[in-house]
Structure 1
Amino acid sequence: MTATTEAAPAASRAGGVRPAGYTLVRAGRGSFLLHRRAAVTAVALVAALFVVCVAYLSVGESFVPPSEVLKVLFGQPSADELVVGTLRLPRMVLGLLVGLAFGVAGALIQTVARNPLASPDIIGISQGASAVTVGAMTFGVSSFAVLPYLSVTGGVVAAALVYVFAWRGGLHATRFVLIGIGFAIALRSVTTLFLTKGDYLVAQQAQVWMTGSLNGRGWDEAAPLGWVLLILLPGVAWAAYAQRTVSMDDDTATALGVRLGRVRLGLVVLGVLLASVATGAAGPVDFVALLAPQIARRMTRTAQIPLLCSALMGAVIVVLADLLARKVLAPTELPVGVLTAAVGAPYLIWLLVNSHSIRRTAGARAGGTA
């Protein structure tokens, strides 16, 4: 909600001036400013996600007409109930939830770091989850009921270490990203060590998990992830409001009485939890958290990264990538992480090449917001 109702700068609200691109919406006794382009983008992404989901449920070894897919989705009797409702729907729902979680997680971490390179798979969170999970597999833990919790633990611990080492009387964006990259490299080496020490079959299973895959996944993974996202929803609503203050320069935010340290810590914790639970459910699906927020920001042209549009874009990316992963080399199914990496890696290179101009643009936007 608040992700598309991005409020105007505090100075503009206090002065009673309505910024360009906003519409004043009254709701009972209250009112808020709605960013028109962000709202239109969110509606368009919802429509695109619906189309992608219907296509996902239609396409497979046997084609199911979209009309039959809609019957199943709306609870009407259909001869394709088994194929759509039992075989394809659980996997699609998991992909949708994973995309939502990674999209918001990437948006929150990039907001705190003020750097488009900051995402869970770049700053060590996904690598921490991978190291703990692969280590558990190496020592004989194979229960899929336990591994997601270990993955979450690894991601949280890795993020805590990065945050502690990056803190020097404040959280400097560049230091945060660089230390995160260092931890990512170190943790990837630990994961490789576990792979070389483990059984061959266990190593093969771990390799598939590390790529990020929805193969063989269903309601057992989607249901817990859905409940966690529902529990964290109030925190996401708070984050959509709090991220405006983090986007200001430090002096302005401090002058307005904002406790930046606490707000940034809260946003990082929320982003880490979202990324960790998504990783636990499907493995580290790389580059979704990197791509989704930046695409959403360019589509909405907002000063802050829009959380709702980032979530929807993440869901579109994962569901579409998994659809292509099932069909590109059919009947062989590729891990969804292979497709997201094929798109995300060139984008990461582009970000690195254009990092100076991106930082300058982001600084100008932040200055305008303050």
Structure 2
Amino acid sequence: MSNSTEVDFRFLSEPDIIKAGATDMARCIDVMEDQFKLLSLGDYRMSGKNKNSHGAFMDFPESSPFPNMPVAGPDRRFMAMCSYLGGSYNMCGLKWYGSNVNNREKGLPRSILTLMLNDPDTGAPLALMSANLISSYRTAAVPAVGVRYLARKDVHTVGIIGPGVMNKTTLRSFLMERPDIETVKVKGRGHRSLESYVDYVHQNFPSIKNVVIVDTEEEAIRDSDLVSVATNENGGIETYPRVKREWVKPGAFICAPSDLYADREPFIEGEWKCVTDLYPMYEDWRDEIGRFDVCGTLGNEWVDMVDYGMLPRERVVDLGDIVRGVDPGRTSEDDIYFFSIGGINTEDVSWGTTIYRKAVEMGLGQELKLWDAPALA
């Protein structure tokens, strides 16, 4: 081990991480699968009292006497998500971002993200990197891991609810796992986003024969083998996408990285199977903000149902346990799976570490000096 007090770290821009493979979806899916194994083993740490917190959240008031203070708006917030991930990664990381829907009017993404990676022993920074693509690709790769283990093999039709960036990359990941997809049904609210999605599919996935814009969630869900619900709702439960029992095809796999209002009875009766990315994270959300009692993400809903005695805890399974073979997963072609995706910083750390190490190998980025020797030690 070096006794040098010099500390440098690497800055990686978005072009740098693209060169290092940040958009390699197939590789990202494999990395997500690997980090789910580590979650199942317990080789990770997150923040909060129970070490499973999603992150620290800061928003703004409806009004303020201070002229420079931002005020509340749709998805206007800052968030810090930190974790340690073991295994071959052995890395600490912090994803930090600000979000504002009105960014789009300025030609900017809704959220602007950076990722800091730190040595888990000394705490010294190793990399500061652009993280919009890191986050986008890991978010899309997670449902693909679910598809790998839980979707039927004969997948031909996908229902898309929310034709935004998240469901563009998610469709790409679905095709990595189930290349026989022929039909995509897409439900959205804005003409521009729907047209953009249709153009995206035609330009990028020539194997897809039919791209159909539908008017209702029911049309998107009925007869679909896979469904992805990824919307940005700010108007309360009445605006959430809805899933009703009679709409869902036997054998379907439905993933939801956003708020969703689904019938409760099929979960209670065991007809619909419950899978989470990390159940203890939803428990931490409950402990931090109180019982949910209204629909949010599916994982939040299931925690409430378990707490109220409506749903046995053992019927909610973490994907990592399925990946490791602790839980058998699909046992029948007609099993219907719902996958709740809350987003975990270990996903950013695993993919960010993979890209950072490749960038070092390729000599990408800029070396920045923290100090040659600390002024205070």
TM interval, shorter chain, is: under 0.3
TM-score, scaled to structure 1? 0.26
What's the TM-score once normalised by structure 2's chain length? Answer: 0.25
Larger strand percent = 2
Higher helix proportion: 1
